[in-house]
Amino acid sequence: MFHLIALPYAPDALAPVISARTLEFHHGKHLQGYVDNLNKLIAGTPFAQMPLEEIVRLSEGAVFNNAGQILNHNLYFTQFTDKPSVPPAGRLAARIERQWGTLEAFKAEFEAKGTSLFGSGWVWLSADADGTLAISQEPGAGNPVVRGLRPLLTFDVWEHAYYLDWQNRRAAHLSALWQFVDWTEIARRYDEALV
Ligand code: MN
């Protein structure tokens, strides 16, 4: 039985980039819907005993879509902070610098891949077991965990994530999200991937 995660900030903490009204629908309706759907779909099946990531790795069709969307949104909503965003430090910062040169160059590629993703989906930063980072475009409920990678950071480019506040201006929305990214949390996920 899966449950809706609590948001680690007030509903209006990310406004106007993500308004309280967007969060009300995105977290309270869309994510709640995926949780309710998955619980119905897996009741009485072997999936009911599995952790979420395992379901995502092993399932397809409706179970995959709903489980993937729960995993994606749980990582998405908990990567933002209402405190001033501090640039990444430690091993994650060193790796970004090694692969992209600067944090700004990394952000530019991440935004461009989110903006150019056709239709609904997610842009992800993930790490392999050696710590190599990669940016990927994942359609629908996609998550790089299905390829054995550790998901670190994601921007949701489904229209439900930004349309109430930004309408068609996806690129501007993505660019404005960085101010809320909790790099301490992303670095923690990265360090965990390397253990
Ligand atoms: Mn979403």
- What is the tens place of the pLDDT at every residue in 81-131? 999 889 999 999 999 999 999 999 999 999 999 999 999 999 999 999 999
Angle at 164 between CA 5 and CA 111, to 5 degrees: 75
CA 50 – ligand 1 centroid, Å: 23
DSSP code for 119:
S
- What is the tens place of the pLDDT at every residue in 158-180? 999 999 999 999 999 999 999 99
Which residues fall inside 5 Å of ion ligand 1, going by CB?
156, 158, 161
**Domain 20-77: CATH architecture, name and number where available:** Orthogonal Bundle (1.10)
CA 13 – ligand 1 centroid, Å: 18
CATH of domain 90-193: 3.55.40.20
DSSP code for 29:
I
Which helix or strand (DSSP H or E) is residue 97 part of? Answer: helix 90-100
CA 103 – ligand 1 centroid, Å: 25
pLDDT exceeds cutoff 80 at 195: no
Q: Check residue 194 and give its pLDDT.
A: 87
Q: Check residue 52 and give its pLDDT.
A: 98
Angle at 12 between CA 71 and CA 21, to 5 degrees: 75
Q: Check residue 84 and give its pLDDT.
A: 86
- What is the tens place of the pLDDT at every residue in 9-28? 999 999 999 999 999 999 99
Q: Check residue 94 and give its pLDDT.
A: 97
CA 117 – ligand 1 centroid, Å: 15
CA 92 – ligand 1 centroid, Å: 26
CA 173 – ligand 1 centroid, Å: 14
- What are the residue ranges spanned by the domains of the chain? 20-77, 90-193
Q: Is it true that 20-77 and 90-193 share their CATH fold?
A: no
Give the SS3 label for residue 98: helix
**pTM higher than the cut 0.95:** yes
Q: Check residue 158 and give its pLDDT.
A: 98
Do residues 74 and 141 lie in contact, with contact meaning Cβ atoms separated by under 8 Å? no
Half-sphere exposure for 113 (CA within 13 Å, toward CB): 19
* Beta carbons within 8 Å of 168's beta carbon, 6+ residues apart: none
- What is the tens place of the pLDDT at every residue in 28-78? 999 999 999 999 999 999 999 999 999 999 999 999 999 999 999 999 999
CA 101 – ligand 1 centroid, Å: 30
CA 160 – ligand 1 centroid, Å: 6
CA 151 – ligand 1 centroid, Å: 16
Task: Give the length of the chain.
Answer: 195
CA 30 – ligand 1 centroid, Å: 7
- What is the tens place of the pLDDT at every residue in 125-154? 999 999 999 999 999 999 999 999 999 999
